[in-house]
Chains A and B, each alone.
Chain A
C-alpha cells in the first residue's frame, strides 16, 4: 500500500528546470500532494507528455514516465492503456502541444473516452520555442512571430473538449492550490477520460495573461467555482449569480440575493449548461472553475476488452489457427 507516502515520495531527484516563478512549479507541487492524498501506487501511475515546457513534467514525478514527441502523448498513452488498463495514466500537455500539433489526438482520445487524465497547461503562448503566439493566444498577441499582433482567432480548450465529446471537463488556476487539488482529485476518481484545463502563468513570455480573473484581487468577483447541485453564485458574500435568459438562450448576471430563486443550480451532467459556462470570459463574466461537466459513460478500454473475443487473453494456439482453413495432405 502507498497510503503512507507523502508528496516528497512522488518527487524525483531531478533538478527542476522551469524558469523561476513559472506556474508549473505550483502545479507540480499540488500534483505530488494530490498523489499522496489519493494514495496513488507509484508503480501503477504513469505520466506521459509531449513537447513543451509542461512536458518536462514526467521527469519530476517519481512514478513511471514517458516524455514523448510533440502532440502525440494522448496516442502513446492510448496504446499503453490498452496494453495495461490497470494503470493510472496522466497526460501532461500544453496549449501548443495539445491544441495545435496534437489537437487531432486530443479530440480522438476525448471522443473515445479512454481513461486518461489529460492536464492541459494553458499559458496562451509557446514558451519552449521562445514566445511565439499559440492557438489559444488572444487576437493582438504581440510575439516574435506576430510583431504587429496575432490576428487568428483562438480556440477555447474547454469548448474544444466539449465538442470532441469529453465526458469530464474541469478547470483550475495553477496557483489556486485548493481549486486545483479538488479538480485533480476529481479527475483521478473519475472512471473515464478527464480533461483538465489549468490556467498557467508563463512568467517570461506571457506574464499575467490571466490576471483579469486569476489575480488575487479579482478572485472573488471573477471566479465562479462551480459545484454540482449548488447555485451558480460568486462575488463577495455570493452576491452575484447566473440565470438562464430563455429569450437570448444565454447566461445573464443577476443579483443573487434579490433574485435568488432565478439563480441556476449547477448540473454537471448538462452539456448545454457546460457549453455556456465554458464560454464565459472575464471581465464581462466570471470564469467558471471546478468540475464543469461530468457524465458517466463506458470507457474505451472497457469496450476494447469487452469487444475482444477473448477479453484480450491468449486462448488459442497458432498451430491450430494455421489449420483453420482448407488443408490437404501430400503423402
Chain B
C-alpha cells in the first residue's frame, strides 16, 4: 500500500501497471508494444492495449506531431481499459517525452533514450531547455539510457547499414523492459526468427539487441536505477486464450456469421481511417468464404454489397463517419428493397475529416436517424475488442431474420485496442436461419417474394439464378402485397408503418437489458454504449465498493432498445450518460423513452479515463443522496 493513501482511496484503486512506449513513427514502437503484450499474455497477466498513432504516415522525424505511442495496462485484472496514467514511459526522443509527460502518473519511471537528446532533437520537439536539467522531470524517476548508441555497438558485427542498425533499438529497449517485468524472451525470439528468416543479418542483429537490452538491466551498476516490476497473474476462467484486437474479432465474427448462415460474405469497402484494418483482416480470410472487393468509392462499396446481397451472399460494407454519410442513400435502397446488409461504422472524431486517427462515438445520430425519409435501421454496438465477434454475428442474424440493413457501431479505439480472449466455442452458436421460399408460388411470384413473416416482417430471400422466381425490386415505393410499383396514398402509409414495425420487432428477439455492476434499482445508473464499456465498468465497480446504490448499464441494442430498458432506468434516481460525443445516446433515451439524463461528454479524441468517470459518478452520487461519499482522489497514484 502506498503510504498516505486513505483506506477509501485504496478501495478505489486496483493494482495494475500502465506502460507507454513513445517514439517517432519509424521507431517501431507499435511492434515493440505488440511483442511486449504477447509475452505478458503468455505470462498470465490480463491486459488491454491502445495504440495512439499520428495521422501522418511518416511525419518529420523528431517532431511532436510525429509521435507514435503504444499503451498497455497489465495486471491481475479484470483489466478493461488501456489504463489512465502510465507509471512507466519509454521515450525514444524529446518529442515523445514532451507529448507523453502530461499523460503519465506522478512518480512514474521514465526511460529516455539520451542519444536523441541533442540540441537539435530538443529544438525539434520545441524544448528551449533540456527537460532533464531544468527541473521539469522532478517528481519522476528518470532513467537515462544511451539506447541508440548501445544498440549500434551491439549490432556492429552484423554489418547492417546505419539506418538498419538503428532500427534494432526497439528490440534493445524491449529487452530492457522485459527484464524489468521479469518476462522471458522466448516468444519474442520466436517472432524475430520467423519474421526475419530470410534476412540472416537482420535476424541476428535484432536478437543481439534484444539480449543486450535485457543484459543491461541486469548490470550491477544499474540494478538500483532500473526498477523491477512485479505484475500479478490474472484469475482467468479456465480455457484456451488468445489476444485479439477489435478489428480482428470483427473480421472473424463476420466470417463466423457466414459460416453460421452457410452463405458467402462479400465485403465491399473503400479505404478509410480507422476502418481499413477490417478490410485488411478480411482480405486474409478467404478460406472462410469471405470475398473482398475494394470499390472505387464509398458509394460503390455499399452498392456492391447490396448487389451481393441481392445475389444471395451476405453483403457487408464498412467505413468511418464521412464514408457512412456517402453510403446513406444506398442504405435507404436496401431498406426499401428489403435486403440484408451489414454496415460497419468505425467511428472517429468529426465532423468532416475531423480527427481521423482519434476515437469518438459521434455517429450514433447518423446510424439511427441519418437518412432521408422515415428509414429505420437496427443498430448494435460492440463494447470491447472481443465483443466485436459476437456483435458481428448478432447483426447478421438480425439482418437475415428481418431482411434489413443493420448498423454495427465500433470505433477507432475498439478497432485497434487488444485484450485476452477466451476463444469461443463455435458449437455453442445457433445456426443463422435464412428466410426461404420453398416452392414455386401458385400465384404471382412478385407477391410471394414480398410475403413477409408475421413476426419478423422479413420477406423470403430470393436471388437471381433461382428458377421460376423472376421478380423486380427497386427503390420506388411498392405495393405492400404485390410488390409492384405503387404510388397509392394508403399504401405508402402502410409501407411506412411496416418498415417501422419491422425494426421495432427486432426488440422481441433480443435479450432483456441487464445490469453490468450494481443493483437493478438505486440512486445512480451509469448508462453507456460501445467502447466506453471498459472505463465505465471499472469506474462503477470501484465506486460500488463504497456505495451500493450505483450501477452500470451498458446497451448493445441501440435501435430498437431492449423492451425492458425504460422500466429498468425508471428504477434509478439519476441516469448518468458518459459518451464520447456531445450527448447522442442521451438524446436517444429522451426521444425513445422520455428519460432525462445527466450527460458527461468527452470529445478529446481520447477514451475516458477510469478516474474521471469515478470523479463524475462520486459527485453525482453526493448530489443525489446528499451524502459526501467522496474520498480524496489523487490522480494516477502508482501502485
Give A contacts to B, CB under 8 Å.
12, 14, 42-46, 48, 51, 58-59, 62-69, 72, 75-84, 86-87, 104-105, 107-108, 304, 308-310, 312-319, 321-323, 325-331
Select the stretch in B286-294, B357-365, B488-496 that faces chain A: B286-294
How many Å from the CB of B257 to the closest CB on chain A? 9
Q: Which 6 residue pairs of A and B lie closest in terms of their CB atoms, listed nearest first?
A: A79-B307, A67-B474, A314-B289, A83-B311, A79-B304, A316-B287
- In the complex, the answer to whether B285 meets A83 with C-beta atoms within 8 Å is no
Interfacial chain A residues near B469, Cβ < 8 Å:
43
- With A69-B330, A322-B423 in contact, is A309–B286 under 8 Å at CB? yes
- In the complex, the answer to whether A321 meets B288 with C-beta atoms within 8 Å is yes
- In the complex, the answer to whether A328 meets B42 with C-beta atoms within 8 Å is yes
- Looking at B243, B252, B259, B304, the one whose CB has the most chain A CB atoms below 10 A away is B304
- In the complex, the answer to whether A76 meets B304 with C-beta atoms within 8 Å is yes
- In the complex, the answer to whether B286 meets A43 with C-beta atoms within 8 Å is no
Interfacial chain B residues near A12, Cβ < 8 Å:
472
- With A79-B306, A312-B291, A328-B42 in contact, is A322–B464 under 8 Å at CB? no
The docked-state distance in angstroms from the alpha carbon of A46 to that of B473 is 11
- With A59-B472, A323-B240 in contact, is A83–B42 under 8 Å at CB? no
- In the complex, the answer to whether A326 meets B307 with C-beta atoms within 8 Å is no
Interfacial chain B residues near A51, Cβ < 8 Å:
475
Find B187's partner among A59, A308, A326 (CB 8 Å cutoff): A326
The docked-state distance in angstroms from the alpha carbon of A315 to that of B290 is 10
Interfacial chain A residues near B44, Cβ < 8 Å:
328, 330
Interfacial chain A residues near B337, Cβ < 8 Å:
66
The binding surface of chain A is classed by DSSP as mixed
Find B464's partner among A44, A308, A313 (CB 8 Å cutoff): A44
Number of residues from B at the complex interface, CB < 8 A:
71
- In the complex, the answer to whether B293 meets A78 with C-beta atoms within 8 Å is yes
- In the complex, the answer to whether B264 meets A318 with C-beta atoms within 8 Å is no
The docked-state distance in angstroms from the alpha carbon of A2 to that of B398 is 38
B500 in contact (CB, < 8 A): no
- In the complex, the answer to whether A327 meets B307 with C-beta atoms within 8 Å is no
- In the complex, the answer to whether A318 meets B291 with C-beta atoms within 8 Å is no
Select the stretch in B19-27, B47-55, B139-147, B295-303 that faces chain A: B295-303
How many Å from the CB of B202 to the closest CB on chain A? 22
What are 22 contact pairs spanning A and B, CB under 8 A? Answer: A43-B465, A44-B465, A67-B472, A72-B300, A75-B296, A79-B266, A79-B268, A79-B305, A79-B308, A80-B308, A80-B311, A82-B311, A83-B312, A86-B465, A304-B291, A316-B287, A318-B256, A318-B288, A323-B242, A323-B423, A326-B243, A329-B241
Give B contacts to A, CB under 8 Å.
38, 41-42, 44, 187, 236-243, 252, 255-256, 258-259, 264, 266, 268, 285-289, 291, 293, 295-297, 299-301, 303-313, 315, 329-330, 332-333, 337, 423-426, 463-476, 484-485
Interfacial chain A residues near B464, Cβ < 8 Å:
43-46, 64, 80, 84, 87
Find B259's partner among A48, A318, A327 (CB 8 Å cutoff): A318
The docked-state distance in angstroms from the alpha carbon of A314 to that of B242 is 24
Find A326's partner among B38, B291, B333, B425 (CB 8 Å cutoff): B38
How many Å from the CB of B558 to the closest CB on chain A? 26
The docked-state distance in angstroms from the alpha carbon of A69 to that of B311 is 17
Q: Which residue of A lies closest to B471 (CB)?
A: A64
The docked-state distance in angstroms from the alpha carbon of A44 to that of B470 is 9
Interfacial chain B residues near A104, Cβ < 8 Å:
296-297, 300
How many Å from the CB of A46 to the closest CB on chain B? 5
Interfacial chain B residues near A46, Cβ < 8 Å:
464
